Amino acid sequence: MSAAHLPAETAPRRCLPPLAPARRTALRLPEGSSDAHAHVFASACPLDPALGYTPAMVTVQDYRRVMDAYGIDRAVLVQPSVYGFDNSALLSALAALPGTLRGVDEAYRWRRPT
């Protein structure tokens, strides 16, 4: 949901960061496990003014620690809606961990009519 769908007096929700263990946990996923849907954020990238929530800035390095803690080998990052059509945060994260991360961007679904 974008802010365009919210009543004018409604402020975007603030999201808390995920609770990530500080180190490897006793709960280990099977070898070869993949996370099929994750988001990362970069404070250097501007947020879309029509955002529907305000994210906690979870970087690709933060997410890598989560992967290591649980034994996740691969992950699919999904373009967060708060960046609108700017995929620079997603592309930067994918470049940081080549071979480990893949990306999905559904901007075509939100294309503005011409």
Q: Residue 86: what residue type? A: D
Q: Name the pLDDT band for 2 (thresholds 50, 70, 90).
A: very low
Residues 6 or more apart whose Cβ sits within 8 Å of residue 34 = 72, 73, 74, 75, 76
Write down the pTM of the prediction: 0.76
What integer pLDDT is reported at residue 14 of this predicted model? 81
Once rounded to an integer, what is the mean pLDDT over residues 60-66? 93
